[in-house]
Chain A
């Protein structure tokens, strides 16, 4: 009986794991293999051992690129999360207030449509990019010394790059949060309101803990999507801050395409993945337990 049950589950999960094997696991292992090879411009593979990793540790640009990438990711994700969460909670609140009429039940749906089009449909990022480039090309702060101007412009470029990425992400994240907020149990929210207390306390002790898993999912997906951002940072960062001011992905593309050093590019990828994934794996379980102790994964513990 148990064997039959396991076999049935394996059959149901087979397509997913087949996909993972073909499109994720094997290419990732291939990347690992390429990182141990000298591979220049589609030339023959030659085993190089850890030479690519040694070259990576000796590269003076790496700390600067890692720092810049971290700043870029952290600020983009934080702004996106705050914007999308507050918009979604507002839309869900409005939907609940107007939910007595069957027509107004469409309000959240219209919100989702707007968000999806904001996300990709009209490419708002590129319009903003053009505007920012025009600003940088103009005579900006002419009374300052050249070095001082470039330092200020550099700082601005970083934050503008971050802000440019936000509109594209906020729509999708808004959809995720809105679906999560609409699925919140109304009786729990009503009970909290009857118990009284300020709105921010209800938000902190009831709504956000109930949305905990959704927040985790949205943050992880936003982080992954922010890591894939190429167009805007590439346009804005080129020639503005110098060689070390680049995101990890831009540097990777440069190493791969301009120099054709696929082995070195693969070593950068593997090293950065290990640097990010290893602490996440070690801290992940502990972090989940900490959240559990704090009651964030079991909202009933935090009911006022």
Chain B
């Protein structure tokens, strides 16, 4: 029995060249998910392309206009500790801070996490609510996709063969607060349900995690919330729209019915908390 061949390119171009040539190559980011899958026999890549030597994939840069670029190889711990991710970007930082446990946060990366895309993971709803764009590169081209387009279905993303996630881009955020609320059985677990909320003008962007194949966002619900965040009836109406649009499953973390019941509660709690924060500020 032979394991996969490990290559450790020093540049992004070299990594992309391997991906172009080797159809059974998989990118090894932090290993938090892929190594566990390999141990369980669920992934058997022929070639592992270790990305930890590629400097251009690492780190967070904040442009003068407030746009943020998070390199795909940025560890959860780095994202969780970067206080420049404030206001409307705080939702991403907060999501990073509650992923699994400290050991996983030391190794796991944003690129690795979203490329695998467990719908119960923490980044997907946070990035969708933050209106993030995902930067994808192949040997042939580079492109950007809205997070909403990137997450396609259970464990399925828009990544094409030969492509990899190279960065996550956040648009400039206002000073209005944002929040990520995760409800899990224990602190180290995947979410039973989660909710990312970003105040936006007089309204809000909302994404629900772990309640369907992709992070749930509802334009109709957000339209109801616009200008009526402090209105309990409006919040209840938006929550009902979200709950109706959800497509949760029964699993060992919770039933579909429970998840549906959680959505309005998480939304109401998150909105009250953010409005309190905004008033205090």
User: A and B: partners?
Assistant: no
